[in-house]
Amino acid sequence: MISKAIIIALILFAGEVRADRVFSGVSEEPQVQTHCAGVPVKRFGFCWVLGESPTFVNDTALQQGNISPRIKVPIKSSREISRNYIGVTTSRMPRSTANDYLPVEAVHLIDGDLQSCWLSRGQTRPDAQPIWIRLDFPLEQKINRVVLRKRPLSTTPRSRLGWAPTKDAVEVGRGMPRTITIKSSRDSASWQTLFDGATCDAPDKFECEFRFPVQPVKQLWITAGSLQMVENILYAFSLAEVEVYNESGQNVALISRGTGVTVNSTHHTPGQELAAHRWYWPLNYDAGVKWARVGYHDDPINWHWVEKQKGVLKIDPVTDAAVSELVTNGVEIIMSLNFGNRLYSGPDQRSIPQLWEWNYDMPKPPTTPEALAAWGRYVEFMVKHFRGRVHHFEVWNEWNISCYWGDTPNLEHFLAVSRVAIPIIRKYAPEAKIMMGSVAGFPHGISGWKPAELVQKEREIMYLQAMRALAGDVDEIGWHPFYNRDPDSLLNYTSDVKAFQSWLRSVGFKGHCMATEWNYGALYPFVADKDVPNVWCGPFNCSEIDKAKYVAQAFTRHAGLGIESFFCELYFSHFGTVDLSLMRSTFHADPIAPLQPQAAYYVTRNLATIMDGMEPDEFKCEVAPSPEHLELFTFSAPGGRAVALWVGGRADDAGRKTTVTLKLPFGCRSAEAFDPINGVSQSLVIKPTTGGTKIRGLVVGDAPLIVRVAYP
């Protein structure tokens, strides 16, 4: 375990001691790589981040006729920000090599084991990007045959806990492309085509063979086309083995023969690569977020990682230090304690030990007395270990869907799990807050439900029943309101949240609410519902700049409601079905694809700085003329007050703008407008009036405009 003294001793940035960021050796300190127009560009591994907000749109007028300069807002890190409502779910957690889990790497193509396999990254189209495999032999081989082998079918029923995109999706390791090109070379400069055409694959075929006259070959290059749909991944290339036979009938494509393999894309599993975490973990506090939720997916702090041998519970030291690094950098943590453990709940229906936990074989939850007792020991161990650093413990994540529960969701079993954990947390961390396991979903439309309908909905919706049962036992309740939900369907979300909070109070809940996961994605190319029915992330697609606007809206709206909200996730770009990241995924690459910040990353960082110290505050203000679907939230702010306003519904790349007058019911010394898209501020022209202040000519669009006023 890395001591606090060592953490403090390692405060470095660009060769200078910095008070705004602390690095523990878990992550690498970002370095200034270059400058653009005098602004530093910092390098986080293979990600380059501008030190101020880029200018995304040219027309940034904030007040009509205002000639005051628009000034870039100086960015603050999490450590420099006192408080905001902006959070992220972390993209897995840093871990040591002992807990590194990479089951579908390219080496499995040449290991001679049909039970292991390789998997490319998923794509949203069969031919969005070419995927290739290259073999290098230690000396020239005279070959006449290539065989591509699938992984054998599972002997047990396929799990349906995860998301299989269509009934025709094949298992991992069985993603044979429909077309293939095989080229050979003796010098890696000139290439000869040995085969170019259809693989003639079929569901009942286990291999595809390609014969040709004997050729002297030093390098072999196999390029796939027309990829098949692979379960939970979308279109991908995935095989168990590539076999290359010489004229003597020997397979020379084996690591035991000295052969090397290179691919241009690998799905490094939900855990990602060790190096990626080391490089990108500091993005959490570069972004200025004050909240991070850990352990909600498949992290080294989950039960099945912590207790891999009965009765022996261990925390990965790198993961442990990563928690300390977040805390030292001013980030508040919600730690999700969850997921089953096969040591106590038994094997699942499908046993594929070399594949990752999530989607395929999530352990079943504890239900027997022995399993529940072991679950309690895990909770006690975790709480004792992290108390003082972690002040919010969550009991499971998305227990109301099978993927994360590990079985068909069961209310009584979840309540039993919760009632074991809650008193343990209270005993060993009495100052900590306890969060009921966040639920997948939200009761959209509740503000319009009549009493009889509300009663009926409670009978139908399991998580409402759980909330009623645990209302008096927990301090926090979290929900996941949307993934890529059409913004036009969220026009009543604010009213729904207020109605939902009112219902929670009516059933005895006196605590605090958080939106612990939500997401908008800008996929290129996007997932079309007609091509992939029932895509789990929702069929709504938007552009990159519109995503940035929706992210700004969601953060601002929740903050205005006094609710911390968490974008899911910050730097995860492996998953092909959804843009689950604030980083831009371009061409896939192996081993690690360089990341670049999306507009949404910079906008999140701008908001985190702009909203430093802003708290919800109720006061009336008038907007004239009031545009349709106007969203308006009022705040207190250091030295004054603030108003955030925008036009709700679908955004537009060009920006829908209207000019309004804002009337405030109090006098003020000065006012300043903030644009979170371009990250600029501008002093406003104000006019004192009887009983208040008018600000004429405000330009309001489909992204939040934040007006902060100073007291007289």
Give the domains, in start order, of the chain with CATH numbers. 86-95+271-609 (3.20.20.80), 106-263 (2.60.120.260), 615-710 (2.60.40.1180)
Task: Flag the least confident range among 148-162, 226-240, 302-316, 501-515.
Answer: 148-162
Within 10 Å of residue 57's Cβ, how many Cβ atoms?
Answer: 15
CA distance 160 to 347: 15
Q: What residue has token string 């977020």?
A: 289
Q: What are phi and psi of 242, to 5 degrees?
A: -115, 120
CB 705 within 8 A of CB 644: yes
* Residue 432: closest CA among 472, 474, 390, 461: 390
Q: To which H or E segment does residue 670 belong? A: strand 670-675
CA distance 679 to 673: 11
Query: Is residue 14 pLDDT above 60, yes or no?
Result: no
CB 241 within 8 A of CB 109: yes
Q: To which H or E segment does residue 7 belong? A: helix 4-9
Q: Judge residue 691's burial from the number of C-beta atoms within 10 Å of its C-beta, 0-12 exposed, 13-18 middle, 19 or more buried.
A: exposed
- When pLDDT is cut at 50, 70 and 90, the band that residue 648 belongs to is very high
Q: pLDDT above 70 covers what percent of the chain?
A: 93
At residue 219, the 3 state secondary structure works out as: strand
Provide mean pLDDT across the span 475-480: 98
Work out the angle at residue 88's Cα, subtended by the Cα atoms of residues 83 and 90, and round it to the nearest 5 degrees: 130
Structure tokens at 300: 């080294």
List, in order, residues 6 or more apart from 211 with CB less than 8 Å away: 144, 145
Residue type, 710: A
Q: Judge residue 162's burial from the number of C-beta atoms within 10 Å of its C-beta, 0-12 exposed, 13-18 middle, 19 or more buried.
A: middle
Q: What residue has token string 């001793």?
A: 9
Question: Could you write out the DSSP letters of every residue in 268-299?
Answer: -TTT--HHHHHHHTTHHHHTT-SEEEESSSS-
**pLDDT of 158:** 66
Q: Which residues pair with 565 in a beta bridge?
A: 86, 515
CA distance 580 to 298: 15
* Residue 26: closest CA among 389, 275, 301, 290: 275
* Residue 562: closest CA among 491, 499, 514: 514
CA distance 431 to 429: 6
Q: Strand (E) positions, 406-557?
A: 433-440, 476-480, 512-518
Q: What share of the chain is helix, strand, coil (3-state, %, to 5)?
A: 20, 30, 50
**pLDDT of 345:** 84
Q: What residue has token string 């074991």?
A: 420
**pLDDT of 525:** 85
**pLDDT of 4:** 39
DSSP class of 366: P
Provide mean pLDDT across the span 501-509: 98
Structure tokens at 411: 């209310």
Query: Is residue 624 pLDDT above 60, yes or no?
Result: yes
**pLDDT of 298:** 84
At residue 560, the 3 state secondary structure works out as: helix
Question: Which of residues 650 and 594 earns the better pLDDT score?
Answer: 650
CB 143 within 8 A of CB 217: yes
**pLDDT of 21:** 67
pLDDT digits 0-9 by tens, 315-370: 999 999 999 999 999 999 999 999 999 899 876 544 444 455 444 567 889 999 99
pLDDT digits 0-9 by tens, 40-75: 999 999 999 999 999 999 877 899 999 999 999 999
pLDDT digits 0-9 by tens, 168-208: 888 889 999 999 999 999 999 999 999 999 999 999 999 99
Q: Judge residue 408's burial from the number of C-beta atoms within 10 Å of its C-beta, 0-12 exposed, 13-18 middle, 19 or more buried.
A: exposed
Query: Is residue 120 pLDDT above 90, yes or no?
Result: yes
Task: Flag the least confident range among 265-279, 432-446, 510-524, 553-567.
Answer: 265-279
Query: Is residue 272 pLDDT above 90, yes or no?
Result: no
Query: Is residue 410 pLDDT above 60, yes or no?
Result: yes
Provide mean pLDDT across the span 697-710: 97
Provide mean pLDDT across the span 616-638: 96
Task: Flag the least confident range among 202-216, 234-248, 588-602, 621-635.
Answer: 588-602
Q: What residue has token string 């379960």?
A: 231
pLDDT digits 0-9 by tens, 283-295: 999 999 999 999 9
CA distance 387 to 278: 24
Query: Is residue 255 pLDDT above 80, yes or no?
Result: yes
**pLDDT of 13:** 32
**pLDDT of 157:** 64
Structure tokens at 661: 């007058």
CA distance 21 to 7: 11
DSSP class of 79: G
**pLDDT of 599:** 97
Q: pLDDT above 90 covers what percent of the chain?
A: 77
Question: Which of residues 291 and 655 earns the better pLDDT score?
Answer: 291
Query: Is residue 35 pLDDT above 90, yes or no?
Result: yes
* Residue 614: closest CA among 707, 550, 712, 516: 707
CA distance 117 to 392: 39
CA distance 320 to 386: 9
- When pLDDT is cut at 50, 70 and 90, the band that residue 17 belongs to is very low
List, in order, residues 6 or more apart from 681 with CB less than 8 Å away: 70, 71, 73, 672, 673, 674, 675
At residue 333, the 3 state secondary structure works out as: strand
Question: Could you write out the DSSP letters of every residue in 45-79?
Answer: SSBEEESS-----S---SBTT--SPPEEPPP--GG
**pLDDT of 393:** 98
Provide mean pLDDT across the span 295-321: 94
Provide mean pLDDT across the span 147-174: 81
CB 345 within 8 A of CB 407: no
**pLDDT of 486:** 94
* SS3 sequence of 388-443: CCECEEEEEECCCCHHHHCCCCCHHHHHHHHHHHHHHHHHHCCCCEEEEEEEEECC
Q: Judge residue 168's burial from the number of C-beta atoms within 10 Å of its C-beta, 0-12 exposed, 13-18 middle, 19 or more buried.
A: exposed
Give the chain's mean pLDDT: 91
